Structure 1
Amino acid sequence: MQTFLHKTAKYIIDKYGTILGDICIVLPNRRAGLFLKKNLAGIAGKTIWSPAIYSIEDFIVELSGYNVIDPVYLQFELYEIHKEIEKTGAQEFGEFLKWGKVLLNDFNEIDMYLVDAGQLFGHLTDTKALAVWNVGGEPLTDFEIKYLRFFNSLKKYYDRLSDKLLEKNQVYQGLAYRKLSEQIESDTVDLPWSNIVFAGFNALTAAEEKIIFTLKKTGKAELLWDADTYYLDNKIQEAGRFIRKYKKKFDEDDFRWIDDCFSTDKKEISVLGVPQNVGQVKVTAQVLTEMAGISNEMHNTAVVLNNESLIIPLLNSIPETLKEFNLTMGLPLNDTPLSNLIEGILNLHENSVKFDKTGGKAPKFYFRDIIKIFEHPYLRIIAGAKKIESVLSEIRNSNRIFFDYNELVTKFLTEEEDNEIPFSVFLEPWSNSPQRGIEKIIKFLDTLKSAFTDNRNSHSPDNTKTQNLEMEYLFHFSKVFKKLKNLIIEYPYIENIKTLREMYNQIVQFVSIPFYGEPLKGLQIMGMLETRTLDFDNIIMLSVNEDFIPAGKSDNSFIPFDIKREFKLPTYRERNAVFAYHFYRILQRAENIYLLYNTEAGDLGGGDKSRFITQLQYEMAKYNPRIKINEKILSVPPVKEKINDKIEITKSPDILKRIENHAKNGYSASALNTYRNCSLQYYFKYLAGLDETEDVEETIEANTLGTVVHDVLSKLYEPFVGKNITAGDINLLKSKTELFIRKSFEENYKNGEI
């Protein structure tokens, strides 16, 4: 198989020779550059001067001459403009965050597609005005007036943000694209290369089109395409939608390249329906084991994840026989164990503010937030399992819903005066101060670092890999909170814990821990976008379900679908065409293909295989008989071996004595019902004394209320056993009822609020 990048490398060396220092090659992503360099070196057969190789984003930023602003800082810049425009009507930063990011995405898209912002926002304002127009002539409400004023001011937001950033020589990605397209069109860019080769592109934004085709028209650039006649010549095949459009701008001999792999190559395609995501991962592991048994060389095999949440399960399932593999995607910081602990600490302090009725004088912590933190395994590393279990037991047995800080520290968390466990680092109240909260979390991360270091020094080297990973978690979370600390200093708009939490969530969702390895060796694990320009003999693709590939129709934007269509902005239709191209392109040179999809529906639907699979099954058998497609629906096999899980309790003299003792106290209705439902459960609960872990009762549970009723009635009527009850006795009992009820609740619902 001749890969696209091998063909590209051969073309470049044949045309430009091996002196490539003044040649620039632009690819859809950075990863493709590594593989292209490998192919260039292999074809040249000697040491050569490498051409400049860029991803399209890096190429545009490099030539534009501007600095791309961090997306988080960009939100603060937009908020300052919001305050300038709205003045006293400006929202708090926490409220602004809910829509500010959406507006920035719209601005970015407008610039990348070179849309006239004035016309678009004018059209949008008119559309919104028609939507609230009252036919009867009634005046607009205050809400409707504010609604229209907001859309009418969007052009101001756009202009002021652009001007403010450009004054500081800064841009966001879309603005960099717009500015470079203007510079290229006016021929004011000094290119440091004699020729530029754009290779492997499909759907170009309007700015990319103007940049690339203007350079081509002036003889400074050429394009190398990667298409197949199967989807290019078929006018209703969405995978070829964009390349068909670009092909019209080329002479027939000048358009490179169109292959016919789907019509000539032999392919084995296995479509596997597997229940649940974990099932897909386990089947993938089996397929990899079989492949490794045939060949130790796995560099021509790729696992493609359409659902990136499967990274961790997949890494845990890779066969041990595969010594080398490379993961192009990082581990999302949100999926780490430390993320759960940080989330718990933020919850604890946010809820303490929410439930506080003392104006910050004596904030209290909700017991479930405390339990969630203390059940985290990292706390056991700091304090030891014995101490943690003691604290959890004390909290549950106390039947208290709220605890204040001083009570927690003095009653639960201090063993001796000279041996205080450092829980105060994260439990000490933050007084709704983000600055204080950040300082405390940074200090807590340092405490964890010391605990991990001590733990590593006292354990065998077998745990070194896990502990190194935990230190990596700490490093990246420390960076996140130090970034938040700097943001608060520069932009004083994060005024409370709730806003801090929202800002933290926005930062951490885009942070991943990179995996370091040899990118050109072994099995390749990647997302769909990383497959661009790459080719493999063997493809295993997971989560080939609707709503994953192609993605759903949801579009978080202020610009409605019809206006996007009018101004040629991308909608879900264009996104579907993009992913159709990626899907068919990665398959066109592959020989062995496994397409796995989840057969089980989730809470919001699902379980349907992607329509791309259905297209393959319907069209490929007719298009090329050498392509064999087999579909199997897999299920979890039943357990073959017979497991004897029967539990029998023999009625020994000791057991009979326990039954007699229980009978002396009388059988409650609950005990009798338990025996009728399951005699073994009756034994465990009433005779062996085993019961579920006691939990704090936030409200009076039914069993507690039943116990109180039984207890009060027993105390009231016990003196009248064997006697006749008169009307006077009943009146006497009524006068004692409230006292007995209170005493019974004090015994059976300790510390609870009645």
Structure 2
Amino acid sequence: MTTTFLEDIIIDLKQQGRDISKLTFVLPSKRAGVFLKNTLNKHIPGTFFSPEIISIEEFVEQISNLEQIPNTELFFEFYRVYLDITPKEDIEPFDRFFKWAQIIIQDFNEIDRYLIEPNNIFDYLTEIKKIEHNHWSIEANQTPYIKSYLSFWNRLKLYYQTLTKQLISKQKGYQGLVYREASNNLKTFVKENTANKYIFAGFNALNKAEEIIIQELLNQGLANIYWDIDAHFINNNLHDAGYFIRSHTEHWNILKKQGFNWKTNHYRNSKHINITGTPKNVGQIKYIGNLLEKLSTKNELKNTAVVLGDESLLIPLINSLPENISAINITMGLPLHQIPLASLFEKLFGIYKSKKPIIYYKEIVNILSHEYIRPLLWDNNLNHADVIIEHIQTNNIVSLSVNELVELAPQKKELLTYLFKTCKNVPKEALQNCKKIILSIKTHLNNNKSSHLLALEYLYRFNEVFNSLEQMMAQFNYIETVDTLYSLYKELIKNDTLDFHGEPLQGLQIMGMLESRVLDFDTVIIASVNEGILPAGKTQNSFIPFDVKLENNLPTYKEKDAVYTYHFYRLLQRATNVHIVYNTEPDVLNGGEKSRFITQLEIDKIHNVNSSIVTSPVPSVSKKLLEVEKNNAVLNRLKDIAKKGFSPSALTNYIRNPIDFYSQKILGIKEFDDVEETVAANTLGTTIHNTLEDLYKPLINQELTEVVLKDLKSKVTNLVSHHIKNEFKSGDITTGINLIIFEIAKRYVNNFINLELNQVKNGNSIKIIAVEASYKVPLHIPELDFPVHLTGMVDRVDEFNGITRVIDYKSGKVEPSKVKIKQWEDLTTDYDKYSKSFQILAYAYMMNHNNPFEKPIQAGIISFKNLGQGFMSFHDNKNNLITQDTLDNYFQQLKQLILKICNPNSPFVEKEIH
């Protein structure tokens, strides 16, 4: 690699014979200062005093005699000004003010950094608003809203003037104000620092205040400036990478007089540039991980930088680094809102903001299951989180109060109160609860501190955030609700970062685009080189319109694009190996098509650019169906099941998918029962079955009459209510869809009774023989050396006009075609078509075994969603009566099915579901 920009500076200063230890270096960022010290160590032998190295922002603070105010404090100071100036009827609460105040402060910053006369721009802006709404402003009777809107723009100037005076009186200032005051104090500073010599290095885009400060120091002979620009960019009037420095050479008198002689010619040196498109962000990160794996030596990694255009990819990148990388240095900070701990406080604030005394069960489960909370609930080998969650699921509880939670785990009363007690718009209490939770987590993690260093760092940063909020609440009384506190908290963690500490000069360097200023690397990997990211595109977070910005020489998206262009190409200047990675399948939220920077590189043809599209290998995977062999344990379990009895539902479950039968019957795995917020289909079905059982059981051996059936209808409401509450447990059936389902259950039962009432009126006789009758019959299967039984419960047996009917209730919709068969061999192969027939034949078989039929019977289904079909009787190709031949044919299919289930040489094979 050629010499770096910082090395060029030190070499040049040495050649001039300058005493470097007496110089003050002013750099674009603090980060560059670390590399400058390392460069000094390389090029200056022996012991020497290090020069002062500061960032441009620190330098401007020195000149201004103002301290830059933290953002949080700034907004509170601004709100104080807002309250003093704004008429009472127009005052907004702090949380609403906070949303637009951020944009206003950003505009104040721009106005001050570029030394715009504030009165002029605010007057200009006010007149524009009047012109935009001239039909409002000239109306004789303006509405209060119109007056409020226009008066807001009139007050902007007063907000600015009062805020700046207030801050200066406290010797504080936001960034723009610090810059403006620095330019005002410049002459005094120059007089007091004539002995100091300043070296400005690596600057490109400068605001007006910076230009004036640097030019004045240059004119007074107190400074030198080193530009980091290649001749290729500055000589090409159309290339945006040289946009700002070309402007400086044209407008700075000192550069016109002395000439601009700090150009390099590194960009045209031979480079290996690979442009790679890969689908999605995860594809980019995995590709970069593969690239880094090839850089095995420490020297290669030391001179390698990964620059993330999209800084949200930091965590995925860290997780994708190959094992051969033992040392990394992360320059960029990790936003606090991306830290796992942030999700906990997001959930907690959701509860603290609530005004309801009860908490939704999902919120409870989410918090109790959180990785930082669950360990706190252990006590004597019992996890109270599991106890509470199991209680919620078992009793179908949709919401609980804090007191109910404490009753379930009284040993953890204090912690549960911090977690779940609503703060009823007492923000101080919410803040204190968060701090107590942090302390509880810290106490737990300290038990094994060495394993939780990163987690403890997370806690420390969040504790700082809450301390800052607490300090602001003590100083200002504007946070009156938990909603306001939460809004401010969200803004703080969005803009605040967790800074990583490590050896800055060792290993792989990971950074954002702005952190790369002044630094040079032999190998550069740039990610997310897509439009909307690099460059950022036409984003404008400002109240100042585009044309007003142009009129006042304020930067627009055009200048911001030029800044990104400079940083991008500056990274390429001295690099030898360049890997540019972009997302081939972006979306509108995360960037657009591949960046114009890539297109420009391909069109320039200065370097051999290799472009390719890379996708992850997609192997041809043929799904292998799960297969489970039957060992002794499985066979013994099958014998137990056979002895207790195979139920029709278990057998049809095997027909549907043998693996499901294996999971549920052999392994005993139950499906997870979530809390039932809405009455489920199975709950509805059970309610109807149990209601009909209670209604008809007292009528066994009786013939139904109109009087009896009408009497049954009077009992429906109470019985349905009883059974649905029994099944739905603590669920609420008094409102919403659950109330509708309750009414549907009553309607189904009433409709069924009406069906029977009409049949009786039409002269049919119906006699109840059995209701919910249980059967368990032995099956004679000589091929098996252990007993086998068939067991089940028949919903109803009756006599209809002298014909015995075996009836199975179905709360869902069943069509008559589902109780017909053509070929007996199909009965055990097609679940969808023949499972209903299989079940009702099983009931008929068991009844006949206990009480052989004297004459043919019928077996069928009554579907409550298809009551119009009435009783749907099973029938084969011959007739709809169950004869001995029918039962013999059924037994043959049943026997073959059970033999297959119990065959040790026939594994459970998953059935492919279409």
**Separation in 2 of the partners of 1:3 and 1:257?**
14
**Residue 325 of structure 2 is aligned to residue 322 of structure 1:** yes
8 Å Cα contact 1:306-1:549 kept in structure 2: yes
Name the counterpart of 2:395: 398
Name the counterpart of 1:454: 447
* CA-to-aligned-CA distance 1:352-383 (integer Å, 9 cap, x gap): x2xx2xxxxxx222222211110112223212
Per the TM alignment, residue 693 of structure 1 is displaced from its structure 2 partner at its CA by: 2.2
Name the counterpart of 1:365: 359
Q: Pick closer, same or farther for the CA change 1:649–1:742 going to 2, 3 Å.
A: farther
Name the counterpart of 1:242: 244
**Residue 276 of structure 2 is aligned to residue 272 of structure 1:** yes
Name the counterpart of 2:617: 637
Using the size of structure 1 for normalisation, the TM-score is 0.88
Using the size of structure 2 for normalisation, the TM-score is 0.74
8 Å Cα contact 1:381-1:455 kept in structure 2: no
Aligned residue for 1:425, secondary structure, equals helix
Per the TM alignment, residue 296 of structure 1 is displaced from its structure 2 partner at its CA by: 4.2
Q: Which residues of 2 match residues 383-422 of structure 1 at below 5 A?
A: 383-384=377-378, 386-410=383-407, 412-414=408-410, 422=415
**Separation in 1 of the partners of 2:143 and 2:667?**
69
**Separation in 2 of the partners of 1:97 and 1:285?**
41
Q: Which residues of 2 match residues 667-746 of structure 1 at below 5 A?
A: 680-681=659-660, 684=663, 690-709=669-688, 711-712=690-691, 716=695, 728=707, 731-746=710-725
CA RMSD, Structure 1 to Structure 2 (Å): 3.0
Q: Pick closer, same or farther for the CA change 1:170–1:717 going to 2, 3 Å.
A: same
**Separation in 2 of the partners of 1:320 and 1:590?**
25
8 Å Cα contact 2:532-2:590 kept in structure 1: no
Q: Pick closer, same or farther for the CA change 1:496–1:677 going to 2, 3 Å.
A: farther
Name the counterpart of 2:498: 513
Per the TM alignment, residue 297 of structure 1 is displaced from its structure 2 partner at its CA by: 4.2
**Separation in 2 of the partners of 1:683 and 1:7?**
74
8 Å Cα contact 2:63-2:186 kept in structure 1: no
Per the TM alignment, residue 325 of structure 1 is displaced from its structure 2 partner at its CA by: 2.2
Name the counterpart of 2:263: 258
**Separation in 1 of the partners of 2:274 and 2:60?**
41
Q: Which residues of 2 match residues 429-578 of structure 1 at below 5 A?
A: 429-456=422-449, 464=450, 466-578=451-563
Name whichever of 568-577 and 213-222 sits farther off: 213-222
Name the counterpart of 1:611: 596
Aligned residue for 1:378, secondary structure, equals coil
Which blocks of at least 5 consecutive residues in structure 2 are unaligned?
A: 734-914
**Separation in 2 of the partners of 1:91 and 1:5?**
51
Per the TM alignment, residue 490 of structure 1 is displaced from its structure 2 partner at its CA by: 0.5
8 Å Cα contact 2:532-2:592 kept in structure 1: no
Aligned residue for 1:539, secondary structure, equals strand
8 Å Cα contact 2:113-2:207 kept in structure 1: yes
8 Å Cα contact 1:539-1:592 kept in structure 2: yes
Per the TM alignment, residue 539 of structure 1 is displaced from its structure 2 partner at its CA by: 0.4
Q: Pick closer, same or farther for the CA change 1:163–1:735 going to 2, 3 Å.
A: same
Per the TM alignment, residue 533 of structure 1 is displaced from its structure 2 partner at its CA by: 0.9
8 Å Cα contact 1:348-1:370 kept in structure 2: no
Aligned residue for 1:26, secondary structure, equals strand
**Separation in 1 of the partners of 2:414 and 2:63?**
56
**Separation in 2 of the partners of 1:557 and 1:477?**
30
**Residue 212 of structure 2 is aligned to residue 210 of structure 1:** yes
**Separation in 2 of the partners of 1:649 and 1:656?**
16
Name the counterpart of 1:121: 122
* CA-to-aligned-CA distance 1:17-49 (integer Å, 9 cap, x gap): 23531x222111111112222223322223233
Name whichever of 422-431 and 308-317 sits farther off: 422-431
**Residue 347 of structure 2 is aligned to residue 347 of structure 1:** no
Aligned residue for 1:45, secondary structure, equals coil
* CA-to-aligned-CA distance 1:403-435 (integer Å, 9 cap, x gap): 11111111x2225xxx86743333344342111
**Separation in 1 of the partners of 2:655 and 2:593?**
44
**Separation in 1 of the partners of 2:54 and 2:194?**
13
8 Å Cα contact 2:107-2:542 kept in structure 1: yes
8 Å Cα contact 2:109-2:175 kept in structure 1: yes
Name whichever of 394-403 and 444-453 sits farther off: 394-403
**Separation in 2 of the partners of 1:715 and 1:630?**
80
Per the TM alignment, residue 666 of structure 1 is displaced from its structure 2 partner at its CA by: 6.9
**Residue 62 of structure 2 is aligned to residue 68 of structure 1:** no
Q: Pick closer, same or farther for the CA change 1:681–1:530 going to 2, 3 Å.
A: same
Name the counterpart of 1:460: none
Q: Pick closer, same or farther for the CA change 1:173–1:502 going to 2, 3 Å.
A: same
**Separation in 2 of the partners of 1:149 and 1:319?**
60
Per the TM alignment, residue 676 of structure 1 is displaced from its structure 2 partner at its CA by: 8.7
8 Å Cα contact 1:272-1:631 kept in structure 2: yes
Which blocks of at least 5 consecutive residues in structure 1 are unaligned?
A: 357-362, 457-463
**Separation in 2 of the partners of 1:556 and 1:713?**
66
Aligned residue for 1:298, secondary structure, equals helix
**Separation in 1 of the partners of 2:660 and 2:468?**
54
Per the TM alignment, residue 108 of structure 1 is displaced from its structure 2 partner at its CA by: 0.9
* CA-to-aligned-CA distance 1:314-342 (integer Å, 9 cap, x gap): 22332332232211122322222222222
Q: Pick closer, same or farther for the CA change 1:594–1:211 going to 2, 3 Å.
A: same
Name the counterpart of 2:131: 130
Name the counterpart of 1:459: none
8 Å Cα contact 2:200-2:225 kept in structure 1: yes
8 Å Cα contact 2:305-2:508 kept in structure 1: yes
Per the TM alignment, residue 555 of structure 1 is displaced from its structure 2 partner at its CA by: 1.9
Q: Pick closer, same or farther for the CA change 1:252–1:644 going to 2, 3 Å.
A: farther
Q: Pick closer, same or farther for the CA change 1:530–1:317 going to 2, 3 Å.
A: same
Per the TM alignment, residue 14 of structure 1 is displaced from its structure 2 partner at its CA by: 2.2
Per the TM alignment, residue 438 of structure 1 is displaced from its structure 2 partner at its CA by: 1.8
Name the counterpart of 1:6: 7
AA in 1 matched with 2:277: G
Q: Highest Rg: 1 or 2?
A: 2
8 Å Cα contact 2:361-2:399 kept in structure 1: yes
8 Å Cα contact 1:66-1:169 kept in structure 2: yes
Q: Pick closer, same or farther for the CA change 1:677–1:589 going to 2, 3 Å.
A: farther
Of residues 366, 371, 382 in structure 2, which corresponds to 1:377?
A: 371
8 Å Cα contact 1:19-1:48 kept in structure 2: no
Q: Pick closer, same or farther for the CA change 1:710–1:50 going to 2, 3 Å.
A: same
8 Å Cα contact 1:449-1:474 kept in structure 2: yes
Per the TM alignment, residue 309 of structure 1 is displaced from its structure 2 partner at its CA by: 1.9
Of residues 146, 155, 164 in structure 2, which corresponds to 1:144?
A: 146
Number of matched residues?
721
**Residue 37 of structure 2 is aligned to residue 37 of structure 1:** yes
Of residues 195, 198, 220 in structure 2, which corresponds to 1:196?
A: 198
**Separation in 2 of the partners of 1:633 and 1:648?**
42
